Chains A and B, each alone.
Chain A
Amino acid sequence: MANLDTAQGTMEVSDEVAIQIIGMHKWYGDFHVLKDIDMTVYRGERIVICGPSGSGKSTLIRCINRLEEHQQGQIIVDNIELTGDLKGIDAIRREVGMVFQHFNLFPHLTILENLTLAPIWVRKTPKAEAEEAAMHYLERVKIPEQADKYPGQLSGGQQQRVAIARSLCMNPRIMLFDEPTSALDPEMISEVLDVMVGLAETGMTMLCVTHEMGFARKVANRVIFMDEGEIIEQNEPEEFFNNPKSDRTKLFLSQILSH
C-alpha cells in the first residue's frame, strides 16, 4: 500500500458541518445500545470508529442513514434532521452511500445493473448516462472488465470494490463503511483498502467502522473508540495509537495490536 504514506497530506477538512449528532440514545428493547452520543463530522473528514464487538459502532453509523431508528436526541445530516418523515429519510439516503460487511450486491443483476439501478430508479438518470458513469467508477475500482458478470462469479475483494463503486454511482457526499474488510480473505483486504484510500484522497467525507489500524493510522484524521455504547476516546491517529488516555482504550489496543 504505497500510496498510504502520501494520503494524509493532500486532504483537507472544511469548516462545513456534514453530520451532527446531539445527545442521541438508542435502545433495542430494554437494551441501551447507544448512550448519549455527541459528535460533529466536518466535510472532508475521514473518521475511523473502532471498539470491541457489541460496542455499538455499527449501530451508530447505521443510525446515520436510518437503517436503525434512534429514540432520543438529534441526528442532522446535510442540514436535514432525521425524523419519521419519509421525505427527509429519502433525501438523506440519496446523499449518503453505504458499504456493508457482506457487500450485499444484488445477485440476480449483473455488475453493471447493480451500479445503474439506483441512479436510474432513484435519480431518474437516463440509462446510457448511468451506464457511462458506472463504467467510470468500475475503472476507478479497477474492474471494468467484470461489468457483464454476476456478483456470484466474483471474488470477495472484487465484490466489495463493486459495492463501493455502486455507492459512488449515486454521487454521495458522505460514505459510511460498516466493517468493509472483515468478511474478506486476508489477501483481498489490501485491494479494498487501496480503493478506500483513493476515495479519501478525493476529499470524500468518510465514516469507517474497521479494525484495520494501518488504514486508520494513515488515512484517518480522527479515530473514535467506542465501548458499551459510549464514545470513550477520540483523537488524531498519532496521539490515539501512541498515547491512549483511557484504560479501556489501552486494553483494546493491546488486544488488537499484540499479534
Chain B
Amino acid sequence: MADISFVRTESHPDLPPPKSETGILAWLRQNLFSGWLNTLLTLSAIYLLYKILPPFLDWAIFSADLSGKTYEDCTSGGACWAMIRVRFDQFMYGFYPEAERWRVNLGFLLLFGTGIPLLIEGVPGKKYLAIFVFLLFPPIAFVLFYGGLGLPVVDTAQWGGLMLTMVLATVTIIVSLPLGIVFALGRRSNMPIVRMVCICFIELWRGVPLITVLFMGSVMLPLFLPPGTNFDKILRTLIVMAFFAAAYMAEVVRGGLQAIPKGQFEAAQAMGLSYWKLMGLIVLPQALKIVIPGIVNTFIGLFKDTTLVLVIGLFDFLSIIQAATTHKNWLGTSTEGYVFAACIYFIFCFGMSRYRITLERRLDTGHRN
C-alpha cells in the first residue's frame, strides 16, 4: 500500500467566483433560460404579454374618456372612467349626507394617522397609540359616524361604499383576533366544560356558509327577538361576521399553539409562571408569530368576504359600484366598475400581504423549530 500520511502546510486562498456565476447574463441564464422548457416558458410569457398589454393599455389609458355626464359622452372607444369620476363620492361614502362627510374623513384620518404608526417599527410612544386605537378610537368613531353629542344622527341605512366596507373589515378584524385567541386557548384548556363550549362554538360557526350566517343575522334573528326590539342591521352584521371570523381565527391560532414544543411550557412552569403569564409571555408571542401567514390570510379573506353583505341589502363598495353600472345613464360601464373595484381591493389586500413580510422579517430571531 502507498503512503497514506498527508499534512497540509499552507491553506488555500479564497478565489473570486468564475465570471459565468455573476452579472446580468448569469442571472438571465439561471432564471429565464436554464433549460429548453424554461426557455419555452419565457418566450411564451413574453409573447402573451405582447398580445395582452398593448390593447389593455390602449383601452385603460390612451383612448379612455375621463369626462362626461352619461355613457353617451364616452365616444373614443376606450374605458369610460367618467363614470367613476361622476360617482366617486358615492363609491366612497354611499348615501351618507354630503354635509356630514367630513365626519367620515376625520374618522378614517384618525384611524390611519394613529394605526399606521402603530404598525411601523421604532415609532416612539406606541403604548399611547395602542391605547388610543383600541380603547378611545371605537367610541370616537361611533359618535363621528353615527352621531350624538351634538352631531346629527346619520342612520346606518345611509352608510355605504368604501366607508361601509372599511367599517365592516376594521371592526371584524380587530374583534376577531382576540376573540379567536380566547377560543383557541379554550379549545386546548384542561377544563372539559370550557373546552366543549369552545369546540361547539368553533365548529358551529365554521360549519355554516357566511351567506347563511348573514341571512340568519338579518332576517331570522329579528323574528326570534321580542317585537319592538330594534337592533341595528349593521350592528347585527358586525357581530355575525366577527363571530364567523373568530371561529376561523381560533383554528389558525390553535395551529400555532400546537407547534410550540412541550419544553417551552415546561421551562416556563418550572420557573413558577402562572397559566396566563405562561401563555401571554411565552407561548402566544411565539405561536402568533408562527401563524402570521395564516392570520393575514384570514384577514384578507375577511376583507373580501365583506362583499357578501350585498345579499342582505347593504351597499358596500362592490355593490354600490354594481348599482352605478346598472343605472340607465351608465349602462355598459360594468368593466370599468369591476376594474376599479379590483384595483381598490387589490391595494388593500396586497398592502396587508406586504406588511406580513415586513412583520415576519422584523420578528425573526434566527430560531428554527
Contacts and interface: CB of A to CB of B under 8 A. Distances in A.
Interface of A: 65, 67, 90, 93-94, 96-98, 100, 102, 104-108, 117-118, 121-122, 150-153, 166-167, 170
B359 to A, nearest CB: 13
Interface stretch (B102-110, B182-190, B261-269): B261-269
Given A102-B263, A108-B286, A90 B272 contact: yes
Given A150-B366, A152-B366, A152-B367, A106 B267 contact: yes
A94 B269 CA distance: 10
A121 B273 contact: yes
A106 B270 contact: no
Interface string B250-285: 000000000001011011111111100100011001
Ranked nearest first, the 3 interchain pairs of A and B with the lowest CB-CB distance are A152-B366, A107-B367, A152-B367
B341 to A, nearest CB: 40
A100 B366 CA distance: 21
A19 to B, nearest CB: 15
Contacts of A105: 267
B365 interface: yes
Contacts of A94: 272
B8 interface: no
Provide the main secondary structure of the chain B interface.
helix
B328 interface: no
B289 interface: yes
A59 to B, nearest CB: 13
Contacts of A104: 261, 263-264, 266-267
B271 A122 contact: yes
A170 B282 CA distance: 17
Interface of B: 261, 263-264, 266-274, 277, 281-282, 285-286, 289, 363, 365-368
Given A93-B272, A107-B286, A121 B281 contact: yes
B267 A100 contact: yes
A187 to B, nearest CB: 21
A191 B274 CA distance: 33
A65 to B, nearest CB: 6
A166 B270 CA distance: 11
B74 to A, nearest CB: 56
Nearest to B275: A86
B263 A152 contact: no
A201 to B, nearest CB: 24
Contacts of B261: 102, 104
A102 to B, nearest CB: 5
17 contacts: A65-B270, A90-B272, A93-B272, A96-B270, A104-B264, A104-B266, A105-B267, A106-B268, A107-B365, A108-B289, A118-B273, A121-B273, A150-B365, A151-B365, A152-B368, A167-B271, A170-B271
A104 B264 CA distance: 6
A64 B282 CA distance: 23
B287 to A, nearest CB: 10
A67 B270 CA distance: 7
Contacts of A122: 271-273, 277
Nearest to A154: B366
A118 B272 contact: yes
B272 A100 contact: no
B271 A108 contact: no
Contacts of B286: 106-108
Nearest to B266: A67
Contacts of B363: 108
Given A100-B267, A150-B367, A152-B367, A108 B273 contact: no
Of the candidates B261, B271, B282, B289, the one having the most CB atoms from chain A within 10 angstroms of its own CB is B271
A152 B268 CA distance: 18
B368 A90 contact: no
Contacts of B267: 98, 100, 104-106
Contacts of B289: 108
Contacts of A93: 269-272
A141 to B, nearest CB: 17
B213 to A, nearest CB: 36
Contacts of B264: 104, 106
